[in-house]
Structure 1
Amino acid sequence: MILDTGVSSAIDNLIYQYDFYAHDSSAATTETHGSIVASQVLAADSEANIVMLKVAADGSGTISLAAADAALDWVAKYAQQLNIAAVNLSFGASSVVSRETVTSLSDEFETLSNLDVAVVVAAGNSGARSGVSALASDSNVICVSASDGEGTFASFSNRDADLTDLVADGMDIAYMGSVVSGTSFSAPLVAGAIAEVKSEFYASYGHELSSNEALHLLQATGDALNRTGEVAGTSASAGSGYVELDLTGALGAVYDLAALAALGIVV
């Protein structure tokens, strides 16, 4: 499930699209952002079904929070029917905050959390070392910062030892002849990874892995980041999110009963 600028090119496994900005059934756009985000979800889980909900003005790429609010209400309405594992928001409010913040989307985030839908939000690209986008700071979302894919934070990435939940490669992402970077492209890797580990867990054991358990698994199997020069956190769990996504390691743990037991995950 993706809230973004819409669809600019063919997307594998696209099962539904809707434009919550213009209120019609086509999410088509000239903006490439949403399609790149979708490609990153599929890079983590090639079998994921993609739903694209357009929440931006065509031609400008400017996100409408009112459209996002309506789209999230739609996600909550159909969460169980569509068996939605995760929803990705690769956009944020302009402000950078260093504490949990309530925004206009907080009610929807809480509703989705109660429905066990993982809400994954990009941390933002202001280069802050002690703050993230206000949307990403919400207590009911998974905040994703960007790395270079080799254990070091991307210089542009917002991060916060108390707020970042996971880090994923967001550097030099190739798409249809162009190369892009940003936390926008780290977040969907995590959304896809959550869908993938939940799917594999269900296939192996016949019952659902919760979103919180999936995140815990991804954190526990992630790779340590270089924290030289990083700002220390203030909470007891500060820095727990400063690990880089290792999906191969996470999938290995799904099949390892001892590893699951050590994480308190019941099979």
Structure 2
Amino acid sequence: MRRVGALVAVLLLAAPAGAQAGEGDIIVIREPGTSARDIREDAGVRVVKPLPIEGAELVKPRGGDVADAVAELRADDDVVLAERDVRVTVDGLDAPSDPFFLSLWGLPDATVPAAWTTTTGAGVSVGVVDTGVRADHLDLAGQLTGNPGERGAGREANGLDDDGNGFVDDYQGWDFVAGDNTPQDGNGHGTHVTGTIAALADNGRGVTGVAPGAKVVPLRALDNSGNGYMSTIASALDYAGAIGLPVVNASLGGGYANVLERVVAAHPDTLYVVAAGNANRNNDDPAVASYPCALPQANILCVAAHDRSGARASFSNYGATTVDLSAPGVDIASTWNTTANAYATTQGTSMASPHVAGAAALVLAARPGITAAQLKWALTSSATVTPALAGTTVTGGRLDTAAAVAAVAGTLPVEPAPTSTPTPEPTPEAPVAPVAPQPPVATPEVPAPAATPEPTPAPPAAPRLVDVNVGGSLKGAKGKLRVSFKLTRSATVRFAVHAKGKAKPVASWTKRAHRGGNQYTLTRKLPTGATLKRGAYTLSVSLSATAKSSTAIRVR
């Protein structure tokens, strides 16, 4: 199974309360109007639990052979998607050992205090998909919220699903690990991230969040060890988009999963701010990329980490086309979960991402109603170009919150230029010993360095075709083949079908495909108009004579 992210839309809470994702589970999404029971019987699998994504559920092979079960499911014409549910985790890093390090250097570095003269984020709610939150933390008092459809007029605890979204009394977020409405934090990572976004200001204790006027909706998708399954994460991301949260922070990451991409694509009005990952890897390389950071969807904003000097943190992933900008991620102090008054200092791209999510809340509060695309444009177009970051992100710069807030005061772009494609990876870090809280110290605003001209970009690398898969069958008049593949950048892809042993193709055509995951459905009637007769064929997908993948297919 795959531990990672969240998905789309609403539905089903009829599974046993204790049902949880586990090793050997499979995520299945079926065609609308088809029978889940028939699909399970044909593939020899049993249901583990329904997922809060339309037409989706988690299943397990009755005989234990996961590979065979996935193959059977993919061969079923009624199945849109079948993939292992993989584990996702937080990237733990040793935190600095100085127990007195409480300087919130990230705030002036990202020009947050200057933005506070305009807004502190009031009226904006940010989703946090993580390990949960310590709800009674004194520095988070009154800062947590939940589904507005379950709040007010006694709806919080009436035992009803008042807004019909499939979740009962989700007025304070949701725990997708335990399946209840109490997303408490047994790890600390989620509480740390939440404090960076929205810890109280001027309350005489601890730290101050980037957007102290904003609220946080806690969505627990990672367990107490900082791990989680892709089905759980996708469900949380989908839930956040379905209840209309404009910004969601996901400081986590893992390998590619189709279900994760589908969920993000299903909620274009939600900006998913995600961590780049802590493996010091190039997310532009699909073989090692972290997701959701490297997803091609425009509503992903991926964040790298830099240190006090403005240099990329030694652990931070990077990517000139997949990582959007950098934010403070070394020696970051914030709230912790061990007591209601605990704090800790730690590091990672998990700490950088919530700086940007908090900044997004400030921008939204300054200009309510802007789109996710305009919000992303404001955050990326205003980044402070930094020579030490050249070539490591799309912008080559770091977060400038005050400039982002100022950007939306003027004319907004109708069609903002696309920015990087992030790849989330669970990036929570191991905390240092909790540090004693102390009142926040006013830090002088640090002037942003003068903008430096961006270096002339190197010619883009040739696109690469990877992970070509063909599923389904052309059995009968309604048979379908599903062809999926990934590209390192947008390109024109050529399809060709040859009868067995024939050099001349029966049909060939081209499609423009985007960077990241692509999927096409083929029937016996090909896009050229030719209809395949019964027999053996070879289907090839190629960029060139050398970048080519061929698969034997049979029409029955």
Settle same-fold status: TM greater than 0.5: yes
Deviation digits for residues 184-220 of structure 1 (CA, Å, limit 9, x no counterpart): 0111111121121011012xxxxx2111112211222
Match of 2:259 in 1: 104
Query: In structure 2, which of residues 361, 366, 372 is the aligned counterpart of residue 195 of structure 1?
Result: 361
With 246-255 and 152-161 compared, the bigger mean Cα shift is at: 246-255
User: Following the alignment from structure 1 to structure 2, what is the Cα–Cα distance between the partners of residues 158 and 227?
Assistant: 14
What secondary structure does 2:402 align onto? Answer: helix
Q: Structure 1: how far apart are the matches of 2:401 and 2:310? A: 14
Structure (1 or 2) with the greater strand fraction: 2
**In structure 2, C-alpha distance between the alignment counterparts of 1:51 and 1:118, rounded to whole Å:** 15
Q: Say whether 1:46 aligns with 2:212.
A: yes
Q: Which of 108, 126, 130 is equivalent to 1:4? A: 130
Contact 2:283 2:294 in 1 (8 A): no
Tell me if 1:164 matches 2:318: no
Work out which of the residue numbers 344, 347, 350 in structure 2 matches 1:181: 347
Distance 1:134 1:265 in 2: 25
Partner Cα separation in structure 1 for residue 283 and residue 231 of structure 2:
28
Larger deviation: 20-29 or 2-11? 2-11
Pairing 1:1-267 to 2, within 5 Å after superposition: 1-8=127-134, 10=137, 11-12=140-141, 13-15=143-145, 16-42=172-198, 43-57=209-223, 59-79=224-244, 84-93=245-254, 95=255, 103-113=258-268, 116-129=269-282, 131=284, 132-140=289-297, 141-175=300-334, 176-202=342-368, 208-227=369-388, 232=391, 239-255=393-409, 257=410, 260=411
Q: What is the deviation of 1:150?
A: 3.8
Report if the CA contact (8 A) 2:132-2:219 is conserved.
Answer: yes
How many residue pairs end up in the alignment?
237
- Structure 1: distance between partners of 2:257 and 2:396: 23
One-letter identity of the residue aligned with 1:162: T
Query: What is the CA RMSD across the aligned residues, in angstroms?
Result: 2.3
- Aligned equivalent of 1:205: none
Which letter maps to 1:46? Answer: P
For 2:258 and 2:311, the matched residues in 1 are separated by 30
Contact 1:86-1:195 at 8 Å conserved across structures: yes
Give the TM-score of the pair, scaled to structure 1: 0.81
Q: Which has the higher helix share?
A: 1
The amino acid that maps onto 1:153 is: R
Partner Cα separation in structure 2 for residue 225 and residue 68 of structure 1: 33
Q: Which amino acid aligns with 2:367?
A: F
Is the Cα–Cα contact under 8 Å of residues 14 and 49 in structure 1 kept in the other structure?
A: yes
Q: Which amino acid aligns with 1:226?
A: P
Q: CA deviation at 1:120?
A: 1.1
User: 1:217-241: per-residue Cα shift (whole Å, max 9, x none)?
Assistant: 122221112347x6x58xxxxx533
Q: Distance in 1 between matches of 2:378 and 2:246?
A: 15
Per-residue deviation, 1:254: 3.2
Q: Percent identity?
A: 28
SS of the equivalent of 1:40 reads: helix
Q: 1:111 to 1:149 in 2, by over 3 A?
A: farther
Q: Could you say if the C-alpha distance between residues 150 and 250 of structure 1 is closer, same or farther in structure 2, counting changes exceeding 3 Å?
A: farther
Alignment partners' CA distance in 2, 1:110 and 1:149? 35
* 1: CA distance, partners of 2:367 / 2:308: 26
CA distance in 1: counterparts of 2:343 and 2:243, whole angstroms? 35
Query: Does structure 1 retain, via aligned residues, the 8 Å contact 2:385–2:395?
Result: no
Give, in whole Å, the separation in 2 of the partners of 1:45 and 1:244: 18
1:85 to 1:149, Cα distance in 2 relative to 1, 3 A: farther
